[in-house]
Structure 1
């Protein structure tokens, strides 16, 4: 499924709804402004936030203008640069992010300041999935200021963000209590965490794993875990959620996200971690662009281990 000459393909939706509103449009190849770079996209990660935006659940915070594109993560090859861009040239391999909901496409224009050079050690799916998950994980860990020897609980610990949070905490010498499906226990154990099965008796299992108490809690799933952290007596300033904004406002907890980690410095640090092998970025699956609905079907089941990427 190729675009006509001079044209690109891009995911679009014309109204809020479920996955069925997504379609592939044939559009003109975008032209870079003075400070922008035209990237031929080789991989673009998908994220739960895109589901929330597409469904209208985040309309008050992030309204869509129709027809809307989607996607922020991307990696690819530079095709053209704006007249003020000096740090990149055609042929350079880059990774980064778009804030214009445009990365789920064969081509995207991105401000040069939102790109870094792709380390050669990174595969395209990993590079194209790095931004949201890695920068969100960095911000979530930074928000609770973990110290060596502390016990930190993490919900959804085997997901796209959670798997990175677990590894960042382990690098800091933290005792990580990783709440996840029992099937993820071997991976979590191998990456320095103590697996804790979600479901019945969760509070008791956490108490058993951390008899001296839990110092901080990072929630990556939903409000029930913020409530659990409060009930466990964890101070609000040591509770972080990337998703339960109302609960965060209710209890005065932290709610840092990808925007708090959206700097070249953070992205470069996280890319270096991934390139060196200090942090593994699991790729659960890849899909061609025209199967974007299938990709979100897998994502929205909330049981994938790691990231899902579109390969235009």
Structure 2
């Protein structure tokens, strides 16, 4: 038998149960991964609680939970090349990642080799955050010498965006709760609070103007950037729906460069990039982990481990 996190109904509130199911096996073109860690993302609980979001992502009840995972391959189906039993890997399996075993199909599911020196907890948190961060930076066309506003900068996507933008030579103004300001300074950003008056604070922090913006939580940074005269084609948003205000550009991991995942994972292995883990929970406490994630104000990532 194999442990699996399941919800019987897409609803709010939703209920997650850890069940025992028969072990899945790899068919031709597939590998089975013994999952060791699975990072949480806001989209996970949104899928679980909103039928329209679940339908958009092709998730139907009864369903599993989560997308990101890391572990090692313990079974390889016929015809698979480039992966072998014992390989440490990470990737994405929408709506079924938090489990003892996950079967992934080569070419349709996300699967990558975990670089030496990257823990399963970090690798298991990378797929959505890394690809979304890369996509947002590409849409906003962040380059050396730019001043860029990053809204909601302390979360999993935000910490990667900040570090990559700073590495490009950009000046980053990052919104977050005050408790995360020292943390963001440590990443090279200029922190400021979110809420009323953001556009005025921007004028004080960036008297020469703002060149681009990335809003990772709603539309507050979008409005502040528009008020600051930022070209809407250089305002990227990931959580404002398909039609954000003012002509800002919605984006997500699907717009990442093909090499984004491997490149960012290697940067972590090389010590050039960090993805902090705020807390880990064993699979039996998955509901507590999701409650913490859903509460917001997470610094980096929340991870579910599968001992």
Partner of 1:178: 174
* Residue pair 1:152, 1:214 contacting (<8 A) in 2 also: yes
| Secondary structure, aligned partner of 1:309 | strand
TM-score by length of 2: 0.94
Q: Distance in 1 between matches of 2:278 and 2:93?
A: 23
Deviation at 1:82, TM superposition (A): 1.1
Matched, 1:196 2:192: yes
| Structure 1 residue ranges, 4+ long, deviating more than 3 angstroms after superposition | none
Partner of 1:3: none
| Secondary structure, aligned partner of 1:41 | strand
Superposition CA RMSD, Å? 1.6
1:170-249 to 2 correspondence within 5 Å? 170-248=166-244
Partner of 1:165: 161
Matched, 1:255 2:247: no
Matched, 1:124 2:127: no
TM-score by length of 1: 0.93
Partner of 1:22: 16
1:13-162 to 2 correspondence within 5 Å? 13-18=7-12, 20-56=14-50, 58-59=53-54, 61-99=56-94, 101-113=95-107, 114-162=110-158
Q: Distance in 1 between matches of 2:226 and 2:202?
A: 14
Q: Distance in 1 between matches of 2:219 and 2:146?
A: 23
* Residue pair 2:134, 2:257 contacting (<8 A) in 1 also: no
Matched, 1:305 2:281: no
* Residue pair 1:39, 1:108 contacting (<8 A) in 2 also: yes
Deviation at 1:63, TM superposition (A): 4.9
Deviation at 1:235, TM superposition (A): 1.3
Deviation at 1:196, TM superposition (A): 1.2
- Of 275, 282, 285, the match for 2:276: 282
What runs of 5+ residues in structure 2 fail to find an aligned partner? none
Q: Distance in 1 between matches of 2:55 and 2:124?
A: 28
What runs of 5+ residues in structure 1 fail to find an aligned partner? 1-6
